[in-house]
Structure 1
Amino acid sequence: MLWPVFFTLQAVCTSVAHAMQHYPAAWGHYDVCKSQIYTEEGLAWDYMACQPEATDMTKYLRVALDPPNITCGDPPETYCALENPYMCNNECDAATEELAHPPELMFDFEGRNPTTFWQSTSWKKYPKPLQVNITLSWNKTIELTDDIILTFESGRPEQMVLEKSLDYGRTWTPYQFYATDCLDAFTMEPKTVNDLTQRTLLDIICTEDYSRGYVWKNDKTVRFEIKDRFALFAGPRLHNMASLYGQLDTTKNLRDFFTITDLRIKLLKPATGATMVDENNLSRYFYAISDIKVQGRCKCNLHANSCVFDKGKLGCECEHNTTGPDCSRCKRHYHGRAWSVGSYLPIPKGTANICIPSNHGPVPRVCDNAMLRCQNGGTCHHHQRCHCSPGFTGVLCERARCQGPGDCDDQLSGQASFHLPHIGRQLAVILVVLLLLIVSLC
């Protein structure tokens, strides 16, 4: 009789220790979905809002180019340097591994020598525009957590647009325009992210910061600044995340602004060195990208703390009785109230907004391994018996007991259930001593 209780208490001790180890790390990060607490009625779950940790999302994307034959090397081609039309020692040959520049080299490990990069064909059909669409797809909703950074091996484009989709590429909206001359290229006044305010954060701007200058004199990167936009609410060093979380909680448009399923990089005009295009040396003009960084997390609506990549697809490991790729609906038999996204507030644990069991129909009971009781928020029906779901049978079901009047009957799992009220006074004293001993060992 004592062994089931001993193992139960041991599990409680382990779980509490685990929660104590992780809780400090969860402050403001929402990486714990639930923890066990001890109440007058026994063990119970304390549910919290949770989300996966941010990671490098380029590991999980698919890339597509339009036109599909825009990558250099078929047929082989020799390129000249933008700054020196007579220095033509860059060869591209798709049939030779050392000389090929396929799209996947935009996402490989940086720091190699020589640098690896994707490269387009040259502007050999001038004056027809040299335009390329690079589409990054996740087949999953993700939330951006850091700047999007493109590193060019060639000169940075003189005209470019970064676009986003929230519906898996069916429709697109601009994120930002880039040009050496915003008025000429897009009839927009040039701005920078520093010109934005809390009220204008969602404005689509054109910036000239990343399109001017030669690559050998200036930075090779083009950015879409996420953190500078966060800083409008969280402060310059993002020290006040509570303010940002509060805004994300209450402003759907703001949440959606940092949420994507796909990104599209529209390369509209290559670097020309701020001069007229030299039609006699068109091999000087092309695009080449050595690295793309996209930092973010799976969107799980604050109902999961992990996201798995299985069979080429990302999916949230849903908690709070939710299900779906984004945990965006309640599980079967858990429609006691409408599904709702979790909330970041109050800091630091947020509000889980769990799905609760339905209050009508023949709802099967679930024996919860941790709570050790029927989980339905009320009394047991069906002759005061808990019906265990698949995977919860045998000894686990023996320990289950009902909430409300009456304990589970002896039909539970075909064996006698565990009746705490029938334990004698002496046995209760032994249990208390055992509990104190295990807590001290924790």
Structure 2
Amino acid sequence: MRQPVLLLAMQAAWSCLCRATQHYPAAWGHYDVCKSQVYTDEGLTWDYMACQPEAGDMTKYLRVTLDPPNITCGDPPETYCALENPYMCNNECDANTVELAHPPELMFDFEGRNPTTFWQSTSWRKYPKPLLVNITMSWNKTIELTDDIVITFESGRPEQMVLEKSLDYGRTWQPYQFYATDCLDAFTMDPKTVQDLTQHTLLDIICTEDYSRGYVWKYDKTVRFEIKDRFALFAGPQLHNMASLYGQLDTTKNLRDFFTITDLRIRLLRPATGATMVDENNLSRYFYAISDIKVQGRCKCNLHANSCVFDKEKLTCECEHNTTGPDCGRCKKNYQGRAWNSGSYLPIPKGTANICVPSIVGPVIRQNVSSLGVANRNQECKCDPFGSESDRCNGTGFCKCKEGATGPKCTECQPGYLWNNGCKSRVCDELLRCQNGGVCHNNLRCQCPAAFTGLLCEKPRCEGEAAGCGDPDSGQAALRLPPTPLLLLPLLLAPAWAAPL
């Protein structure tokens, strides 16, 4: 059964096609109508508009995996003590008893229960070996974030943590934000807050100490990735000037990509200790516990769909504008009369649909354009020699672009490509940065330091006795589903791999 994920907000308008449709974006840019019929001097015709699904709770549609897979408490059963009181030891975890089990799905259940439900890790019984956990959330779909990511801890908030994102279904990862009680010590980064950012530094990856200091279990238990505050840099503190934000999202590709993900990963590196010294005689006080994770967003449909459905465990855009694909990322068959392009928020309030137009087919049409086709085959259309297959038009009067290229003359690059004598697959830029001290070369590849390798310098070379690489108990093993090339390193090496970006 197909379950609608995001409802069409103006279904009533469709019941009367002759009614003029007002199209105003809601607070978060909900362009809710893809097309409407209007009367013109020529009669009844379609008016096409940019459109996108309504934002909603995306945690309903994710798959969660943990690494190490046996990091959840309860097997064997274990008793925990309170961080603030080492003599209060009445928290029991037993995976074989429903009332005492704390599986990963409890991070995403509906809150309001009494007592609160939560996922919990094993205790730090192998101290001083780091207690490392990867929590990976996968959608198998490109989504756009529209609100703060909020993680609520039942335990004390971790003293060191990294939030990461993937744009390619977990093949590569980039940091979103670092969290620590001491950013300089943990990640060799100066501490900052989102309030320190400007329009020009919006894409900077920062380390914040706001969510890690002090006896945090007595006060706020949440850790945030502040998306609204970043939106406010363009739209104002109350987000009243959304037109400014739409304009920036429309014209600055890296900005839109910044809020786009296929996967999220929480890397827990050091639990709350509540003191400078760890009590080695009572290690059951130290663990991670998360009661809730909030991820608000929408399916990315390239402004070619106003609804998204969850069918057979998969999210898919219901594409309009003669487009098709999971993200409406290509033109339908027989609608490839011009190169596909995403919709545009501008001009406000309708945007630009950039619909796919029919290919030139049929005997009557061919007869009308046959002379044009002959002329095109014999004239240069000034198609770019690097971006197109030929400098001459094809039979329909358009340049035939190479992979990654688009535009009338094949001089523009599709998302994920960068112009370098043609459109080359982009690896690194101000958003997709090289890690571990690597240097981005021509936006196309990372030059890695000697100790690291990988597309983004994300992998330690693991030569000799380097950092216990490959130890399955170290928490460094890559996730099985989906594959995660970025390995966890022990805390003692954190300054080496977390150099300032």
State the TM-score bracket (shorter-chain normalisation): 0.7 to 0.9
CA distance in 2, matches of 1:318, 1:12: 17
Return closer, same or farther for 1:332/1:292 CA change in 2, 3 Å cut-off: same
**What is the aligned partner in structure 1 of residue 190 from structure 2?**
189
CA distance in 2, matches of 1:26, 1:151: 28
For 1:26-45, list aligned pairs within 5 A.
28-45=29-46
Does structure 1 conserve the Cα–Cα contact (< 8 Å) formed by 2:24 and 2:349?
A: no
Q: Which stretches in structure 2 are left out of the alignment for 5+ residues?
A: 1-12, 371-501
1:52 Cα deviation after fit: 0.2
CA distance in 2, matches of 1:56, 1:12: 26
Q: Deviations over 1:203-246 (max 9, x none)?
A: 00000000112233220000000000000000111001010000
CA RMSD of aligned residues (A): 2.1
1:16 Cα deviation after fit: 3.2
The TM-score, its normalising length taken from structure 2, stands at 0.69
CA distance in 2, matches of 1:304, 1:144: 17
CA distance in 1, matches of 2:307, 2:179: 35
1:23 Cα deviation after fit: 3.5
**What is the aligned partner in structure 2 of residue 65 from structure 1?**
66
CA distance in 2, matches of 1:269, 1:288: 12
Q: Which stretches in structure 1 are left out of the alignment for 5+ residues?
A: 1-10, 364-375, 382-442
Return closer, same or farther for 1:78/1:329 CA change in 2, 3 Å cut-off: same
CA distance in 2, matches of 1:165, 1:121: 27
1:39 Cα deviation after fit: 2.1
CA distance in 2, matches of 1:29, 1:379: 42
Q: Deviations over 1:310-350 (max 9, x none)?
A: 01000000000000000000000000000001000000000
Does structure 2 conserve the Cα–Cα contact (< 8 Å) formed by 1:154 and 1:215?
A: no
**What is the aligned partner in structure 1 of residue 110 from structure 2?**
109
**What is the aligned partner in structure 2 of residue 257 from structure 1?**
258
Does structure 1 conserve the Cα–Cα contact (< 8 Å) formed by 2:151 and 2:224?
A: yes
Does structure 1 conserve the Cα–Cα contact (< 8 Å) formed by 2:17 and 2:38?
A: no
**What is the aligned partner in structure 1 of residue 138 from structure 2?**
137
For 1:14-33, list aligned pairs within 5 A.
14-17=16-19, 20=21, 23=23, 28-33=29-34
For 1:264-413, list aligned pairs within 5 A.
264-360=265-361
CA distance in 1, matches of 2:154, 2:15: 55
Displacement over 6 Å in runs of 4+: 378-381
CA distance in 1, matches of 2:219, 2:276: 17
For 1:123-202, list aligned pairs within 5 A.
123-202=124-203
The TM-score, its normalising length taken from structure 1, stands at 0.78
Secondary structure of the structure 1 residue equivalent to 2:175: strand
Return closer, same or farther for 1:352/1:166 CA change in 2, 3 Å cut-off: same
Matching residue's letter, 1:173: Q
Secondary structure of the structure 1 residue equivalent to 2:230: helix
**What is the aligned partner in structure 1 of residue 245 from structure 2?**
244
Does structure 2 conserve the Cα–Cα contact (< 8 Å) formed by 1:58 and 1:293?
A: yes
**What is the aligned partner in structure 1 of residue 233 from structure 2?**
232
Matching residue's letter, 2:225: F
Matching residue's letter, 1:71: T
Secondary structure of the structure 2 residue equivalent to 1:199: helix
Aligned residues: 356
CA distance in 1, matches of 2:317, 2:42: 32
CA distance in 1, matches of 2:106, 2:121: 12
Does structure 1 conserve the Cα–Cα contact (< 8 Å) formed by 2:24 and 2:31?
A: no
Return closer, same or farther for 1:274/1:42 CA change in 2, 3 Å cut-off: same
Return closer, same or farther for 1:24/1:16 CA change in 2, 3 Å cut-off: farther
1:29 Cα deviation after fit: 2.4
Instruction: State the identity as a percent.
Output: 87
Matching residue's letter, 1:347: I
